[in-house]
Amino acid sequence: MLRIGMLTSGGDCQALNAAMRGVVKALYHKTDEIEIYGFKEGYKGLMYSNFDMLTSRDFSGILTVGGTILGTSRQPFKLMRVPDENGLDKVEAMKHTYHKLNLNCLVILGGNGTHKTANMLREEGLNVITLPKTIDNDLWGTDMTFGFQSAVDIATNTIDCIHTTATSHSRVFIVEVMGHKVGWVTLHAGIAGGADIILLPEIPYDPDVVADAIKRRAKAGKRFTILAVAEGAISKKDAKLSKKEYREKMEKKKYPSVAYKVAEEIQSRCDQEVRVTVPGHTQRGGSPVPYDRVLATRLGAAAAELIWNKEFGYMVAIRNGNITKVPLQEVAGKLKVVDPKADIIKEAKRTGISFGDEKMKD
C-alpha cells in the first residue's frame, strides 16, 4: 500500500488543485493501492494531525478550480522551532504525524517559506517531494511557478481596463501589483498591459525621474500615463534606510500601501490628477489560465514518477521547457529576483518604458 500525505502551504493561488490532481491521477494510473491523507490548512494540519482521507474522486473536476481543496495557512519558517502556545514542539509533532500514519512520502506545494520547512523536514529524515507554487515566480531552481501566468493575466486585464478611463480623464493612474520582494508579476503585466512606467523592488526609483517621464508624455501630447507599481517598490532614498527605519517611515506617513506614497510624490511634482487602483488578492483568485493548468499537470505527473521511483528530497521544476528535479537543499532559502541588467529590462526600456531609475534620453 502506497501512503501519501499532501498539503498546500502559504498563500493560495491558481492551479494548486490542478497540481494535486496531476499527482493523484498519475499515481492511480500506476496502482489502485493508494491511501491519500490530505492535511488541512498546510503545515498546521500536519502538526495537529488534522486530515481527511481522500480518494481519486476528490480530485475529479478540480482542474479549473482556483484556491485549494485542502485549505492553507502561513506558518513562518522562523517560528517552526518555537513551541506553540501550549508548548508543542511543532517539528516533532509533524514527524510524529508522518510516522503515525506510516507515510511513504509527503507531497508539499508552496513557495519560499514552505520550501524552507520542507527542506527541514527532509533533514529530519522524512521523504519529501515539493511542487513550486507562487504567483511571484520567485522560487530559485525553476523557470516558472504555477500561479504566475494566471496572476499576470489578471493584473494585465486591470491595466487594460484602466486605459480607457485614463484616456477619458487625462489622468495619471497607478496600478499596484502584488510583489513585496520581487517584481516579476509587475514587470510582465506592465509590459503586456502597455504601462508607461514600471516600478520594481529590484530597481529603486527616483521620484523626479518618474515625474520627468510623466511630463515628457504630456509635452508630447499624451493625455494620460499609467504606472505599474509593485507593492514592494522603493525609492532610491528609502532603499538606503534599514528595514526598521523604512517601516517606521511608512507607518508615520500612514500610507495604505506604497502606491499611495508614489501618488503623493507624483502629485507634488506634476499638474495632472493621480488615481490609485489596487487589484489586490484578485490576482490570486479565479480559474487558472491554460498555461498554468498544463504546467501544474506536468509538474504533478513528474512528482508522481519520483514518488513511484522512491526518489525523495526534490522539488519538481521546469527548465528550458523540460520538467526536471532540483535537490531541496539547493532551493531552500534562495530567492529568484529580477536582474536589473536582464535583457527583458533592456528591451522594455528600448520601447520607451521608464523604470524610474534614469531619465530618458532626448
pLDDT in tens, 288-343: 999 999 999 999 999 999 999 999 999 999 999 999 999 999 999 899 999 999 99
Residues 108 and 48 in one domain: yes
Please state whether beta strands 172-177 and 128-132 pair in parallel, antiparallel, or not at all (unpaired): unpaired
Note if 212 is an active site residue.
no
Task: Classify residue 361: in a domain, yes or no.
Answer: no
Task: Classify residue 362: in a domain, yes or no.
Answer: no
Q: Provide the CATH number for the domain around residue 308.
A: 3.40.50.450
Q: What are phi and psi of 170, to 5 degrees?
A: 55, 50
Tens of pLDDT, residues 186-211: 999 999 999 999 999 999 999 999 99
Residues 86 and 135 in one domain: yes
The identity of residue 36, as a single letter, is I
Residue 322's alpha-carbon distances to 142, 319, 352, in angstroms, are 10, 5, 34
Name the H helices within 221-257. 236-239, 243-253
Task: Classify residue 357: in a domain, yes or no.
Answer: no
Q: Please choose, from the candidates 191, 174, 165, 172, the residue with its C-alpha nearest in 3D space to the C-alpha of residue 261.
A: 174
CB burial class (10 A; 0-12, 13-18, 19+) of residue 243? Answer: exposed
Residues 194 and 256 in one domain: yes
Task: Classify residue 263: in a domain, yes or no.
Answer: yes
* 176 strand-pairing partners: 229
Q: Which of 32, 89, 136, 153 is catalytic?
A: 136
326 close to 141: Cβ distance less than 8 angstroms = yes
Q: Please choose, from the candidates 170, 187, 269, 173, the residue with its C-alpha nearest in 3D space to the C-alpha of residue 227.
A: 173
Q: How many structural domains compose the chain? A: 2
Q: Provide the CATH number for the domain around residue 178.
A: 3.40.50.460
Residues 137 and 27 in one domain: yes
Residues 30 and 129 in one domain: yes
Q: Can you give the residue range of the structural domain that contains 137?
A: 2-147+288-331
Task: Classify residue 66: in a domain, yes or no.
Answer: yes
356 close to 209: Cβ distance less than 8 angstroms = yes
User: CB within 8 A of 92, min separation 6: which ones?
Assistant: none
Task: Classify residue 358: in a domain, yes or no.
Answer: no
Of the chain, the end-to-end C-alpha distance in Å amounts to: 70
Question: What's the pTM?
Answer: 0.94
Residues 253 and 312 in one domain: no
Residues 196 and 143 in one domain: no
Residues 44 and 168 in one domain: no
Residues 169 and 98 in one domain: no
**Residuewise pLDDT in 10s, the chain (362 residues):** 999 999 999 988 999 999 999 999 999 999 999 999 999 999 999 999 999 999 999 999 999 999 999 999 888 888 889 998 889 999 999 999 999 999 999 999 999 999 999 999 999 999 999 999 999 999 999 999 999 999 999 999 999 999 888 888 778 999 999 998 999 999 999 999 999 999 999 999 999 999 999 999 988 888 899 999 999 999 999 989 888 888 888 777 778 899 999 999 999 999 888 999 999 999 999 999 999 999 999 999 999 999 999 999 999 999 999 999 999 999 998 999 999 999 999 999 999 999 999 887 76
Distance CA 64, CA 147 (A): 12
